[in-house]
Amino acid sequence: MAHADAWLHDQAALTFQRLSALVRVADNAPARAALERLEQHFVTIFTNLHDVYGEHYDFFYHLLQIVQVALDAAADRPDELRELDQKRIAAPDWFQSEQMMGGVCYVDLFAGNLAGIREHIPYFHELGLTYLHLMPLYQAPQPHNDGGYAVSSFREVHPPLGTMDELASLARDLRANGISLVLDFVFNHTADEHEWAQRALAGEKTYQDYYWMFPNRTLPDQYEANLREIFPDQAPGSFTWRSEIARWVWTTFHPFQWDLNYANPEVFAAMLREMLFLANQGAEVLRLDAVPFIWKEVGTNCENLPQAHTIIRAFNALIRVAAPALLFKSEAIVHPRDVRSYIGADKCQISYNPIMMVALWDALATRETHFFAHAMNKQFALDAGSSWVNYLRSHDDIGWGFADEDAAELGINGFDHRRFLNSFYTGTFPGSFATGLPFNFNPRTLDMRISGTMASLAGLEQAESSGDNLLIELAVRRLLLLYSVVLSAGGIPLIYLGDEVGTSNDYSYVDDPAKADDSRWAHRPPRSLPRYAQRNDAATSAGRIFQGLQSMIQARQRTTAFRAGMTHFYALDNRHVLAFTRHERVLVLANFSEHSQQVNINGIMSATPLIDLLTETQFVSDALVTMMPYQTLWLTPDA
């Protein structure tokens, strides 16, 4: 192995000499800087591309084309973004700061269009956001497009939302206000309306090779024997017959989403070109959608294969050449060990944290925190140069993707526990406060996922319907409890906008034929004008949630101990209370019960007096702390 590695390094050095004489590079300072970065990262680029494409007879030709794409993008990069590149190179840990605070929304549902998003920049400041993820806003088929994740063109904004020039202008305005723009990059597939797919349908062999296509069912049947169905209700199976070309097309998600063939180096080059186009519009983070699915191999489940990681490392290294300010965010809703495998400075620097999200909803339903602490102690720590994006829900459904082996270590049967959680969060379990909706029940596996806004899942919808002030109070406390954990645990907290004022499910989706069979639209409601108007009125639930969250964000941004890294979780004698420390300077306690609890913090935080960063209340204690229902404390020694 060492001999092979040495040979590859030697080959990389020789190849760089040949290649640098062939690439087109302008004679100016930015071009020379890009060429220097290419030399710095070339071994990584060469070795990873060689791993997946080295068997191609024309490997050097494709390598040259790919490198030229990166250098051309570097040449086209606006000066202001080159300045940002230098700033990020000088402070590569910028995204790990306690100042980071994320929000995510659909442009049309939150603000109508891109001009509306610009008008809300003062609101984003009011809330404390430094990171804004605009959900897929590209040209897409109508009306069926999987919430925008079927992309017809990465270079065109969906016309009702605005134009690509407007998006670039918005990115500048956000950046001037200290807010990083985050965009989706749909990594695994395109829409069947994309130019590449249309040219494939017209019979062009070059573009048919951009996708996985088969003349009969022989190979699809061999692949499908090991594949899981992602949307068994809406889109059963993984292949779609297209009579225009008499081919079966690989469609993991929906018939109108065609899987790209990354075994073809031309696809890699083409997707790099689209990726860098978006970087040059001002995106600072690209969310790589569905990364586990990008490599296919017969006899496997075609998820999380080694080549998927190799391809991401190659893209990452090329980004360091062309747009060093850009980060990748991984979207991998798979087994916890596989989620973690995509995260790292050389792959995706940040990643959604579905492990914490699931553990939080589990603790809220069970009122017990030992599983949370156990799972986090095994799964939460990351290597340097990377960070979690901690969230409570997204545009997508909630699937109970905890590791069965982690649950078994605590005597929990994973299958049975998932059935309990599904029952609890759809409101069918006796005493449940939740009003979630089932999503994609699979009668063969009994698997199911859950749809619902935070307010609906945490009991506010049910409480407000009843008019019971005590139930409303408890629901508000649950919401703030959940936020307190994602804000303090370490990483980038992310709010699905609308949740910060307690917006409930929107059931009108059933009246739209394009959405009626997809319960996820219930938790993608339009911005609630009445609830946002109430955000400064502490007598309303919207005001209580917003002001409580805003206060926590401000406390977080004042406290350097909340930057990423150094989190330790504890299993206390009191199973209702979650405890963890941050950089050994802050102790976070969270009571997941609707009853008062006492907890002994002896041996965790021995200094006294302590002060609660949330209320600035001083605690002089003999190590026994009394907590109110659903209360959170952020305790630190009172200097």
331 is a catalytic site residue:
yes
pLDDT of amino acid 440: 87
* Cα–Cα distance measured from residue 62 to residue 57, given in angstroms and rounded to the nearest whole number: 10
* Cα–Cα distance measured from residue 562 to residue 550, given in angstroms and rounded to the nearest whole number: 16
* Cα–Cα distance measured from residue 39 to residue 48, given in angstroms and rounded to the nearest whole number: 15
Mark the ranges of the chain whose per-residue pLDDT is less than 50. Answer: 1
**DSSP of 557-578, one letter per residue?**
HT-GGGSSS-EEEE--SSTTEE
Structure tokens at 327: 């980060």
> Interior CA angle at 518 toward 514 and 523, to 5°?
110
How many other CB atoms sit within 10 Å of the CB of residue 1?
Answer: 5
Quick check: 566 and 560 in contact, CB under 8 A? no
Pick the catalytic residue from 146, 192, 284, 289: 289
* Cα–Cα distance measured from residue 259 to residue 611, given in angstroms and rounded to the nearest whole number: 54
289 is a catalytic site residue:
yes
Angle between helices 164-176 and 79-90 (to 10 degrees): 40
pLDDT of amino acid 7: 74
Quick check: 382 and 343 in contact, CB under 8 A? yes
Pick the catalytic residue from 184, 303, 331, 499: 331
* Cα–Cα distance measured from residue 210 to residue 223, given in angstroms and rounded to the nearest whole number: 18
**For residue 208, which phi and psi values (nearest 5 degrees)?**
-60, -30
Quick check: 271 and 187 in contact, CB under 8 A? yes
Q: What percent of the chain is modeled with pLDDT above 90?
A: 86
DSSP code of residue 526: P
pLDDT of amino acid 14: 86
How many other CB atoms sit within 10 Å of the CB of residue 498?
Answer: 27
Residue range 15-54, pLDDT digits in tens: 888 888 888 888 889 989 999 999 999 999 999 999 999 9
Tokens 């005493």: give the residue.
431
Residue range 146-197, pLDDT digits in tens: 999 999 999 999 999 999 999 999 999 999 999 999 999 999 999 999 999 9
Number of H helices, E strands in the chain: 23, 25
The full 3-state SS of 156-174, as one line of letters, equals EECHHHCCHHHHHHHHHHH
pLDDT of amino acid 43: 94
| pTM for this entry | 0.95
